[in-house]
Amino acid sequence: MLDTCVLNVNIFGGRCSENMKITAYRLEEGERIPRGYGIAYYDVLTDSIVCYPIPLNVVVNVCKKLYYRIVSLSLDEKDKLQMINYRRGFNDGIEHYRKFVQKTYEEYMRERYES
């Protein structure tokens, strides 16, 4: 899906009217990355991947990470504790699921080879 983000960049500077259009692609699950584009970041809100032309995708990724670092510095203690607890709960959920799958697999293998 073509995103509506189009940047007009003046290539030659000065009075030249030659513009290069840089388009961002927002890809849903199962879509292919267009040729010449690279993944810039994963958008959690829309559950999609945002792609930019290959040299620009790294710049967009670094700018996004830098923005989140700056925002996280300005958070108060309550917000920081909330982020830590959210991350801890998320990791606990993943660990619980991993143990559940391992236990289910062991029970399946036990039943399969004992009979």
What pLDDT tens digit does each residue of the chain (115 aa) get? 545 454 544 444 544 444 556 788 899 988 999 899 999 998 888 888 999 999 899 999 999 999 888 887 777 888 888 888 998 998 999 899 999 999 998 888 888 888 6
Alpha-carbon distance of 50 to 64, in angstroms, equals: 12
Q: Are residues 39 and 61 in the same domain?
A: yes
pLDDT of 19 = 54
Q: Are residues 95 and 61 in the same domain?
A: no
The number of distinct structural domains making up the chain is 2
Q: Are residues 85 and 49 in the same domain?
A: no
Domain housing 8: 1-74
pLDDT of 16 = 41
Q: Are residues 6 and 37 in the same domain?
A: yes
Q: Are residues 34 and 15 in the same domain?
A: yes
Q: Are residues 67 and 16 in the same domain?
A: yes
- Determine if residue 36 is left, alpha or beta; phi over 0 gives left, psi from -120 to 50 gives alpha, anything else beta: left
pTM listed for this prediction: 0.53
